[in-house]
Amino acid sequence: MNILALLTDGLGAGGGIARYNRDLLAALAASRRVREVSVLPRFGDAGGAAPAKVHQHAACPGRSEWVVRAVALAARQRVDAVLCGHLYAVPLAAAIAGVRRVPLWVQVHGTDAWEPLGALHRRSLSAAALITSVSRYTRTRLLAWADVHPHRVRVLPNTVDAAYAPRPRRDDLLARYGLAGRRIILTVGRLAALERYKGHDRIIAALPGILARVPDAAYLVVGSGDDQPRLARLAAQAGVATSVVFAGQVPEGELADHFGLAHAFAMPSTGEGFGIVFLEAAASGLPVIAGNADGSVDALADGRIGRLVDPLNVAEIEAALVDALEGRHSVPGAAEETHRFAFPRFVAHVDTLVAGLAR
């Protein structure tokens, strides 16, 4: 099959959706049923690092230009299926698939699929031969409003890279952040005002109580975004500014080493579609704390990989983090449990989905 992939975040882009797309493209490239994947992203630069059989075109941040180029690509090359990487683009993808008379595959991630969309999106989505969701939670929310048969909506969860494994703490990174001798709570995620659901502010609110019981605790925040100034103000107002370190965006090659610095990972989110960072943390050997009200439940395998808490209950977050820092957080076999999300399994799952699409 020749697949036309219309993605928001392509190879070289940052964030969870981009990482999911990277793994999906690699899995498609590994399928003997796929001849070529032609990728048109809005954001990202492959930089010559695309997998074999994957050709990523130059990104088109402007929506209108992206639409025009997508139509032009579909008109001039062989297309056996259209992959739509974001629900908001499904009307364009459905129109192209309909004109070319090929199946449409739609990928949904999280909050994009949780609330009803308009008639155009509903009608376009109903034309999809296959819809994949990163979690059972997102699948359930989508089916509550979409005009699609449940058998067409399959769960295709994130996969975790084998690079994430327990490792020694890097003294140079501890020195960079002034965290030598501290017990470190880690969160990795975008600091965007539109993504406050991730719960950085609730961890900061829990810090005074944590420090009263674990005086050498510190909070390391990896990620960047327009919400950082607000979070810094909250830390100052709570009197914990000296125990909160904003690392900013770190190179992907250093991310696993940042997990290696921590003693616990926490992200009490209320809006996570899945949360690949939970798997990365668990595979790195960390106690993991997540919210029990969204797709994080799937990432933590219903509590077999980490501890699920009420994400809006600061006292519960505080208690879970104190237990983790003091060695009382016990989820036997958590790191091994992440093997269910290993890349070879993801590849096999994608190959099965492609086979069904080809039929």
Convert the pLDDT of each residue in 66-95 to its tens digit.
Answer: 999 999 999 999 999 999 999 999 999 999
CATH number for the domain whose boundaries are 171-339? 3.40.50.2000
Q: Calculate mean pLDDT across residues 234-248.
A: 98
Q: What percent of the chain has pLDDT over 70?
A: 99
Q: Does residue 123 surpass a pLDDT of 90?
A: yes
Point out the least confidently predicted range of 119-133, 175-189, 293-307: 293-307
Average pLDDT over the chain, rounded to whole? 94
What does the chain come to in residues? 359
Q: What percent of the chain has pLDDT over 90?
A: 87
Residue 303: Cβ within 10 Å count: 13
Helices 276-283 and 16-30 cross at an angle (nearest 10°) of 80
Global pTM reads 0.86
Q: What is the CA radius of gyration of the chain?
A: 21
pLDDT at 330 over 70: no
The whole-number pLDDT of residue 333 equals 67
Q: What angle do CA 133, 289, 271 make, to 5 degrees?
A: 40
Residue 157, pLDDT above cutoff 90: yes
Q: How confident is the model at residue 328 (pLDDT cuts 50, 70, 90)?
A: confident
Nearest by Cα to 83 from 138, 37, 20: 37
Read off the pLDDT band of 55 (50, 70, 90).
very high
* Lowest-pLDDT choice from 87-101, 249-263, 307-321, 332-346: 332-346
What pLDDT band is residue 49 in, cutting at 50, 70 and 90? confident
pLDDT reported for residue 52: 92
Domain boundaries, the chain: 2-159+342-358, 171-339
At residue 61, what is the residue type?
Answer: P
User: Which token pair is 41?
Assistant: 């992203």
Query: What is the predicted pLDDT for the residue at 358?
Result: 87
Going by the DSSP 8-state scheme, the letter that residue 227 receives in this structure is T
Q: Which residue has the tokens 């370190």?
A: 245
Residue 35: pLDDT over 70: yes
2-159+342-358 and 171-339: identical CATH topology: yes
Q: Which range is least confidently modeled, 143-147, 266-270, 337-341?
A: 337-341
Q: What is the mean pLDDT of residues 1-10?
A: 97
Q: Tell me the pLDDT band of 46, cut-offs 50, 70 and 90.
A: confident
Assess whether pLDDT exceeds 80 at residue 127: yes
pLDDT tens-digit map of 162-215: 889 999 999 999 999 999 999 999 999 999 999 999 999 999 999 999 999 999
Burial annotation 103-119 (CB, 10 A radius, 16+ → b, else e)? bbbbbbbbbbbbeebee
CA nearest to 123, candidates 106, 140, 110, 102? 106
Which CATH number among 3.40.50.2000, 3.40.720.10, 3.40.1160.10, 2.40.50.140 corresponds to the domain 2-159+342-358?
3.40.50.2000
Average pLDDT for residues 31-45, to the nearest whole number?
Answer: 96
Q: pLDDT per residue over 96-116, tens digit each?
A: 999 999 999 999 998 889 999
